[in-house]
Structure 1
């Protein structure tokens, strides 16, 4: 549903948008190209930085997202098939193949059709907070707070307002900081830095390679949405993401029973960071791949104790297949 709302807000801001706190909601236009870098500071000591590039065409009902400088290319084509298709060209490493380039696809449904994926959050519900310097540029800061259960998330988007009222706004920085009210701690955070924003793009950039045969994404099926469209979770302002919803299948698979609600929240937080680390690492096209196994809900200190202090990629591969 949120993807539909994102398109609606972009159409609205092209007309006379309703002022919020004396300012109109920033408009980024119906077509743009932008580069970004996703930072996951809580994933290991050094964190993860993942570059991506997005081409967005709302009226054409299509978008393209490349990760790690084109190592993984994702095409979201809303006009293909009955309800749209996501195509992903990605290197795959298994026990028998190393970096074999393959094509996977995910078809939309009547209940969940494929729509172009924005690189920017849906600004519905955001309010102007303040003016602030951002990389030497005076930016408007727009803020939204959401809460579900013990998860309270604060989203902020730093935007430069162009001098001409008809020109699209320019995004600079997006940040999510999650606070767990039960644990009384900030257990979640990620950031996106934007650059090279342009309101133009080439039409042929949205055409997937025609010579490749595309297959369904590999099991487990509940991860297909994350695999096909990973950026969706990071620009959505829902406090409960696709990754959060996968904690249930993980608990069932490994027969997890926690002693208290507090431990459940702790374990879910560890699982979320592990899940993001695994999928972001796999998008880098390395000579090995990671998977979710029984260590996924453990802290790094616990994993070090269980493995004698040595953590290597093989130890967090999915050893249940």
Structure 2
């Protein structure tokens, strides 16, 4: 059966596209024409404009195109959607927003104390991995997918936790306390390790775990997250009773493939991030080699006085 049965609004989310366009226009106006209203500002660079535009495009692709409908039909597509939304979009978003706009946001009285806590490397690492792992516990995912407000709230919190987690690695504000390159590498590797158990449980399960991806009322109810109520009411009369009508594999195979795909995408993104961190760290070490050597000699000299 073709996806066109769900209608244009479900497949292309025109209202969400309008929101994305509006946010983009407000951002570029704030970063160019209105930037002098900020206490500190700099001209928007081409790289920042490209990164922000890419973030908005990715956000629309994963949440506003047929990928969103497919993510409610196929668990594999759900994991692709989650991987891109949580592991890739936050990186390009942080890089796309100028540091002085970040600084203005973080300096808000209501934001400053909370941001200081949630962006601590250990706190952000465990917050993200726990929220991600809890979300994929069958009873939690099924409950969340049956409530539009709950789904929106949990997804927003999960996305925010991903931004907090990446902040300690990509903090663009000049003069901010920066953790060492080796520690950044440790955070990325720890993240990969902590997400693995959730993926492993999904990959090695011997039966479908999620009611909202099995034929029946639960699946039809979950489709209300992306399909208008009027269209949803017509689906049973059109013979649409379950996700198996749109897939060539069984529910269990789709579930197992989803866990594998999530792990593969995660390894690719984290691998590229590790390369970037290591490269920057190595260049910094080479650039400041003399200063590092002098500091090491001074430390050794000071220690020798005690022996």
TM-score of the pair, normalised by structure 2: 0.26
RCO greater where, 1 or 2, for CA within 8 Å and sep 6 or more? 2
TM-score by length of 1: 0.25
